[in-house]
Amino acid sequence: MVFTRKRKRKFLNSDRKNPGHDLMETAVDVKNVPTHVAIIMDGNGRWAKQRLMNRVRGHEQGAKTVREIVTVCREIGVQYLTLYAFSTENWQRSPAEVSALMHLLKKFLVSERDLMMKNQIRLNAIGQIGRLPEDVQSELAHTMDMTRENSAMVLNLALSYGSRAELTRMVKRIAAKVRDGSIDVDAVSEDMISDHLYTRLIPDPDLLIRTSGEMRISNFLLWQIAYSELFITQTLWPDFTRDEFLQIIRNYQLRDRRFGRV
């Protein structure tokens, strides 16, 4: 569904007349929505374990949460949503789990294409894309190509992504330019560093959410989150809902972002 600003407001306020509904949700301020939300989607394995199921069932359920959260982000006007889907460290999981995750990713790319087109969502990917299986790479390229002109929101998937690998790649690229004389050492700046990361066309996250309660960053966007607001919820990713997401947005909107000033 496409939301104009007026319809967006109507959508956000529509629950005010519903007394049973959590008041927190009604209070999202459409003028102060974070431009970029990044999420560490964690807890799929524990969700499955609680139910005596295979971890893969947790990942399947997690894919449903992805659809719900992409949809709510689009509705409230988030412009960039980055989802940490697979880390460079996740390659060390069992071959069965890695291959199930790759299969799910491919399935997601195919099944969500229509939704992305209908909602004007552009797909982007960051990470070591060349390490993904060929069939996943080709679905990814196809989806990115197909959604290239979509301009309402960017869905940015972090795939085989690790921040240290990204920073190492950046240093090598800048060092090579210094060596061949195309830039001077003194020209190296924070902006130049940002321009050599996978995220070069994407503003830094305003809000970083991690599900499942772990108090760590796990090699995600180390440079980019310098001034992001952090929110960690105990909820496991497959149990995470649009309502809880909207509560987090509301919490974000109450914060005072000082950026080192007073």
How buried is residue 258: exposed, middle or buried, by Cβ count under 10 Å (0-12/13-18/19+)? exposed
Cα angle 74, 67, 202 (rounded to 5 degrees) comes to 50
In whole angstroms, give the CA distance from residue 254 to residue 240: 21
* 85 contact, one of ligand IPE, Mg ion, none, CB 5-8 Å limit per kind: ligand IPE
* 191 part of the active site: no
Residue 64, φ and ψ in degrees, nearest 5: -70, -40
Contact between 74 and 118 under an 8 Å Cβ cutoff? The reply is no
From 39-47, 62-70, 159-167, 238-246, span contacting Mg ion (CB under 5 A): 39-47
Name the residue nearer to ligand IPE (CB basis): 1 or 215. Answer: 215
238 binds, among ligand IPE, Mg ion, none (CB under 5 to 8 A by kind): none
Tell the smallest beta-carbon distance from residue 17 to ligand IPE (Å).
37
Alpha-carbon gap, residue 228 to 199, rounded angstroms = 15
Q: How far is the CB of 200 from ligand IPE (least distance, A)?
A: 21
Q: What is the largest CA-CA distance in the chain?
A: 67
Q: Is 42 in the site for Mg ion (CB under 5 A)?
A: yes
Nearer to ligand IPE, 87 or 247 (CB): 87
Q: Which of 254, 242, 195, 246 lies closest to 69 in space, CA to CA?
A: 242
Per annotation, catalytic residue among 54, 90, 150, 219: 90
Shortest Cβ 222–ligand IPE spacing (Å): 13
Whether 156 is catalytic: no
Q: To 5 degrees, how large is the angle CA 216–CA 222–CA 225?
A: 90
Q: Which is nearer to Mg ion, 105 or 197 (CB)?
A: 105
User: Could you say which of Mg ion, ligand IPE, none residue 41 binds, taking C-beta under 5 to 8 angstroms by partner kind?
Assistant: ligand IPE
Q: Which range, of 35-43, 132-140, 142-150, 184-192, touches Mg ion by CB under 5 A? A: 35-43
Residue number, 58 or 77, with CB nearest to Mg ion: 58
Cα–Cα distances in angstroms (integers) from residue 57 to residues 50, 99, 224, in the given order: 11, 13, 32
Considering CB distances under 5 to 8 angstroms, the limit depending on partner class, which of Mg ion, ligand IPE, none binds residue 253?
Answer: none
Give the residue among 44, 48, 64 at the shortest CA–CA distance from 108. Answer: 64
Q: How many binding residues for Mg ion (CB under 5 A)?
A: 1
Bridge partners of 203, per DSSP, are: none
Q: How far is the CB of 42 from Mg ion (least distance, A)?
A: 4
* Partner that binds at residue 218, options ligand IPE, Mg ion, none, CB closer than 5 to 8 Å by kind: ligand IPE
Give 96 or 176: the residue with its C-beta nearer to ligand IPE.
Answer: 96
From the list 262, 260, 258, 3, the residue with the least C-alpha distance to 120 is 3
Output 107 or 216, the one with its CB closest to ligand IPE: 216
Binding site for Mg ion (CB under 5 A): 42
Q: Which residues are catalytic?
A: 42, 90
